[in-house]
Amino acid sequence: MKLGEKISRNDFLKKLGFTGASLFALYSLDSCVNEGSVNPATVTVDLSSSQYSALTKSGGYVVVNNMVVANNGGTYVAATISCSHEGKKQMTFRNGEWYCTAHGARFNTAGKGLNSNGSKGLTIYTTSLTGNTLTITT
């Protein structure tokens, strides 16, 4: 086709069809990346740091590296920030359980769903405490 040459609407849409579909597929695949993944395999938290002061009291929690870390009555628990219901990154810790503020999914500290929105369970990570260093293993 030469510059300035007229083309029918039907021919234009046919030519655009494959190219447009290819571009759409390319950009759609980019959305398959799991941005809620946790890295690296071990995360350490210095509990003496003011950055993590919320963890000094029972019920307090912080978000670290796509995880929610909480103090549950003196025991430290950790879970993914991504809710299994719809993948929203809105997990919090309240009343001794994990809670998603997006749709109300609830999970116990072992990750078991407590209502229909939590039926898929929640990814939980192991924690260990040595002195003031809390280690979370993914």
Examine residue 35 and state whether it is found in any structural domain, yes or no.
no
Range of the domain at 101: 42-137
Examine residue 5 and state whether it is found in any structural domain, yes or no.
no
DSSP string, 10-65: HHHHHHHHHHHHHHHHHHHHHTTS-TT---SSEEEEETTSGGGGGGGSTT-EEEET
- pLDDT, mean of residues 99-115: 97
DSSP string, 68-137: EEEEETTEEEEEESS-TTT--S-EEEETTEEEETTT--EE-TT--BSSGGGTT---EEEEEEETTEEEEE
Examine residue 34 and state whether it is found in any structural domain, yes or no.
no
CATH for 131? 2.102.10.10
Examine residue 56 and state whether it is found in any structural domain, yes or no.
yes
* Mean of the per-residue pLDDT values of the chain: 85
Examine residue 105 and state whether it is found in any structural domain, yes or no.
yes
Examine residue 9 and state whether it is found in any structural domain, yes or no.
no
Query: Domain tally for the chain?
Result: 1
pLDDT of residue 6 exceeding 60, the answer is yes
Examine residue 30 and state whether it is found in any structural domain, yes or no.
no
The pLDDT, as a whole number, for residue 38 is 53
The pLDDT, as a whole number, for residue 96 is 97
Examine residue 85 and state whether it is found in any structural domain, yes or no.
yes
The pLDDT, as a whole number, for residue 23 is 53
The pLDDT, as a whole number, for residue 135 is 97
pLDDT per residue as tens digits for the range 30-76: 444 444 555 558 999 999 999 999 999 999 999 999 999 999 999 99
pLDDT of residue 127 exceeding 70, the answer is yes
